[in-house]
Structure 1
Amino acid sequence: GVIRGFIVEKGTPGYSTKDIHGKFSLRASVTSELTFQDCRIPLKNLLPNVEGLKGPLGCLNQARYGIAWGGIGCAMACYHEALNYAKTRIQFDKPIASFQMVQEKLAWMIREITKAQLLALQIGRLKDAGRVQPHHISLGKMNNIQVAREIARLAREILGASGITDEYQCGRHMCNIESVYTYEGTHDIHTLVIGETITGIPAYK
């Protein structure tokens, strides 16, 4: 058979949702489990002009590209918060920004943010030129979210105990980026997409 997409309207018999509560991550969004039990969808709800997985995967590629930029925003917020904190937090009569290991962390952050920005920019240029491929999107999502994840953790380290309070952002970003690391294709799946592109051999079949 052929995979097709449908619009399932709220109130359709057999279709139900269950909100997921008690989340540590993405707490401001509503996350639900969708259940389809003997659910019949009318033909008028069929999405036209697309067959197979091209439709949903095309949507995912658009979302993943946006996520690559979103990861940069998360990383920048954590970097700036850590930088400002380090310049104003005084220990041993001087700001902790004067310590070598703190500067090493901050320098690593801005280096990785700059690389992530350039990667996302190049993918955008490929999109504009009509030459972007799924593995380009996978590379952007995989790299930039991994970078954001590590920068959020480093920012929390620089802030010390303050980093786990709601007075600062990095703890929230650190929790949220864990969800982003998983959704829209896990880090491992995007690694395999890139691996297949490089070798010509699919490792997930």
Structure 2
Amino acid sequence: MRRKETSWIWLERLGILCVILTILSLSITLTINFRPLYVWDIKALNILDQVTISQSELLKNFGQLMSYLNNPWNQTLQLSDFPVSASGAFHFYEVKRLFLLCYGVLLVTIIPSSLFIYRLFKVKRLWRLIRPFQWGMIIPVFFGLLMAIGFDQFFVAFHGVFFNNDDWLFDPATDPIINVLPEEFFMHSFILFFILLEVFFLIGIIIGKRELKKI
């Protein structure tokens, strides 16, 4: 009996980890594919002042970039109005690998997570999500504070963690695409990502607490 309980405890912990990975990868997926954010930033950040093309042409190039990053079968980065250097292309290739890794995690975890949540619902143990999700809500707050202190340092540290080279430091002369991908756009993307995390975790906490009241 004790071995069975121990096995269930570990399975439950594994299930919670799976759910958290699903939330993380889903939040990233929604953020990087939320095109309206870039459309809004075009005006908010006066991005068109940096180029001689129209907004529709700029969005066409942005779509080409996102198509390359999202599509595992698209192996060539080609933008209509922006040349790309060898180092720039390699950086986007590394970004593409991170995108595909994120999608892979989402695909692998979303079904087990759904089954696990359904299992918790059936046995009235959704309250088990409360404490892990409360800890999860601290993460965006912590990184949000770091961003508030200095986004430049945060941005550099982020690239230091995920990239082992300096190819992300674009030269506008050889990679003019960087002129239409300002640092502020990435800051807004991080903010959106953190908001999504908070919302998903908060929903889980609310559902768990409501169930706890019924027990």
Q: Check whether TM > 0.5.
A: no
TM-score between both structures, scaled by the size of structure 1: 0.32
- Structure ranking higher on relative contact order (CA contacts 8 Å, 6+ apart): 2
- Structure with greater proportional helix content: 2
